[in-house]
A and B are shown apart, each in its own frame.
Chain A
Amino acid sequence: MADGVDVQALTAWVREFDRLVAEHEGELTGLDAAIGDADHGANMHRGLTAAVAALAGTPPADPAALLKQVGMTLISKVGGASGPLYGTLFLRMAGAVGTDEVDAATYARALRAGLDGVLARGKAEPGDKTMVDALGPACDALDQEMAAGGSLAEALRRAATAARQGRDATVPMLARKGRASYLGERSIGHQDPGATTTALLLDAAVTTLGGEG
């Protein structure tokens, strides 16, 4: 397989992310009901459905345009804090790729740029019980596997595993950002919905960007 990502693969990634979020919408909203405002699943589903519809309606010509279009749709349509956060993730990725097919190293750099954007936007730190706790470990695993000469497929599998572990690690954390932070100690013992969605984003990448779709 070619170790690169084109417009078709990125479209498939966003579609698969949308499908997984739809499949898990009840679970995500349930997690958010425990420590937030019970809208995360519905918000992400609304935003991603709009993003997928936009991709079908006006198919972008290149990877940068595609990622930008997805980001703009999410910042407009999600409604909750996940809108600016996931929107910024995709917009920063758009800024880190060009108009050509995205090679593995560029994809890893772009996801790292997305993480940096999320950190700057949300001002969360690792351990604050947010999507950063899944996305950070995923970027680290991706970089490590790429540095070791691994394929994008293998690196994405490692990244998805790291994201799931990061998601699970949010359970005992005390929330310091977002609505959950209003709960203080009562946020402990609940899995963070944002980190849960990020694990789905990486799961979607494994099956669509790793040449296994």
Chain B
Amino acid sequence: MARVGLVVVSHSRALAEATVALAQQMLPGRELAIQVAAGTEDGGLGTDAVAISAAITAADAGDGVVVLMDLGSAVLSAETALELLADDLRERVLLSAAPLVEGLVGAAVVAAGGADRARVGAEALLGLAPKQAHLG
């Protein structure tokens, strides 16, 4: 069983923590560590590539990490964070293009079930499907 780590990157710590809480709600009784890198040091809105690289390092248990992001600088900072990682860890990191909330919920459910990194990434990308199917 794989243990894929998850990282949430957001401009806002409040948004990141609420998104994690929403995802954790799907995992009663199951352990899944989700690391957060969000906001500026002074509590404002912003992203920090150094903090993201630390969160990725903390989230990795050997089977790699899937990173979910909000928008704009979150994406650029996550890409920059990859440059700060050791080569072997960098190869185990997947930056997901999924929407943050839906993507994290989908990713968390399968990651907690022991899916590998590719499967977790694929599930994150499918996160919008239920909403799209419902709304047509």
- Judge whether A195 is part of the interface by a CB distance below 8 angstroms: no
The answer to whether B72 and A75 touch across the interface, beta carbons within 8 angstroms, is no
- Judge whether B24 is part of the interface by a CB distance below 8 angstroms: no
Interface residues of chain A, those whose CB is within 8 Å of chain B, are 39, 43, 46, 72, 75-85, 87-88, 91, 121-122, 178-179
The answer to whether A81 and B50 touch across the interface, beta carbons within 8 angstroms, is no
**Given the complex of chains A and B, what is the CA–CA distance between A77 and B80 in angstroms?**
13
**Given the complex of chains A and B, what is the CA–CA distance between A88 and B83 in angstroms?**
10
**Given the complex of chains A and B, what is the CA–CA distance between A91 and B77 in angstroms?**
14
- Number of contacts between A and B (CB, 8 Å)? 59
- Judge whether B44 is part of the interface by a CB distance below 8 angstroms: yes
Near A by CB (< 8 A), chain B positions 13-34 give none
The answer to whether B80 and A79 touch across the interface, beta carbons within 8 angstroms, is no
Our pick among B11, B44, B76 for the contact of A84 (Cβ within 8 Å) is B76
The A contact surface, by secondary structure, is helix
- Judge whether B57 is part of the interface by a CB distance below 8 angstroms: no
Near A by CB (< 8 A), chain B positions 40-67 give 40-41, 44-51
Interface residues of chain B, those whose CB is within 8 Å of chain A, are 11, 40-41, 44-51, 72-73, 76-77, 79-80, 83
Can you list 8 A-B pairs, Cβ within 8 angstroms, ordered by A? A46-B40, A75-B77, A80-B47, A81-B73, A81-B76, A83-B46, A121-B76, A121-B80
CB-based nearest A residue for B50 = A76
**Given the complex of chains A and B, what is the CA–CA distance between A80 and B11 in angstroms?**
8
**Given the complex of chains A and B, what is the CA–CA distance between A77 and B72 in angstroms?**
16
Kindly list the 10 A-B residue pairs having the minimum CB-CB distance in the complex, ordered from nearest.
A79-B46, A84-B76, A81-B73, A75-B49, A76-B50, A84-B80, A79-B40, A80-B73, A76-B48, A84-B77
The answer to whether B73 and A87 touch across the interface, beta carbons within 8 angstroms, is no
The answer to whether A76 and B73 touch across the interface, beta carbons within 8 angstroms, is no
**Given the complex of chains A and B, what is the CA–CA distance between A22 and B83 in angstroms?**
29
Say whether, besides A87-B80, A122-B76, A178-B72, A77 and B48 are in contact (CB < 8 Å): yes
